């Protein structure tokens, strides 16, 4: 051992400066690693922001779908037997089947409701 000390390969009296810096450097590297992944990792801050943006987008879509469903529910309620509007039914049937032009004026007459004209004698 003395031989190595004499050659200057091992210093026993003065510690190496690298040993003093080794622990802080390793700690800095470890902290940097975790900090990087806390921001850019799979579950990091950037991913969290992306998920928040997706949640906001899906919430807006959900509200739009709910409004559309409420509108359809109102239209279906008008077609129920207890609240059936004959004019609405006629309008929807004609629009769906395409039997008349939108500008046409159509007058329906029920043959059984027509009474004979007393003047004509029929």
pLDDT tens digit string along 39-94?
999 999 999 999 999 999 999 999 999 999 999 998 888 777 777 777 777 777 87
Is residue 11 one of the residues assigned to a domain? yes
CA–CA separation, 122 and 120 (whole Å): 6
Task: Answer with the residue of higher pLDDT: 64 or 14.
Answer: 64
Residue partners of 106: CB distance under 8 A and separation at least 6: 94, 100
pLDDT of residue 4: 54
Domain that holds residue 12: 1-40
Number of domains in the chain: 1
For 19, 28, 31, 33, 47, the CA distances from 22, given in Å and listed in that order, are 5, 10, 14, 17, 33
Do the domain assignments include residue 111? no
Q: Is residue 20, in this structure, part of any structural domain at all? A: yes
91 within some domain: no
Per-residue pLDDT, 99: 75
Q: For the residues 95-116, what does the mean pLDDT come to?
A: 71
60 located within any domain: no
CA atoms within 13 A on the CB side of 120: 4
Whether 31 is in a domain gets the answer yes
Q: φ, ψ for residue 44 (rounded to 5)?
A: -85, -170
| pLDDT (0 to 100) of residue 103 | 76
Residue 104 in domain: no
């Amino acid at each position: 051992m003395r031989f190595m000390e004499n050659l200057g390969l091992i210093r026993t009296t003065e510690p190496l400066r690298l040993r003093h810096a080794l622990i802080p450097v390793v700690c800095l590297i470890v902290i940097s690693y975790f900090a990087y992944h806390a921001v850019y990792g799979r579950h990091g801050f950037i991913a969290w922001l992306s998920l928040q943006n997706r949640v906001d987008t899906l919430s807006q879509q959900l509200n739009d779908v709910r409004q559309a469903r409420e509108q359809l529910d109102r239209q279906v309620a008008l077609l129920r037997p207890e609240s059936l509007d004959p004019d609405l039914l006629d309008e929807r049937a004609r629009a769906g089947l395409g039997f008349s032009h939108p500008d046409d004026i159509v007058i329906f007459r029920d043959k059984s409701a027509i009474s004979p004209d007393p003047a004509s004698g029929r």
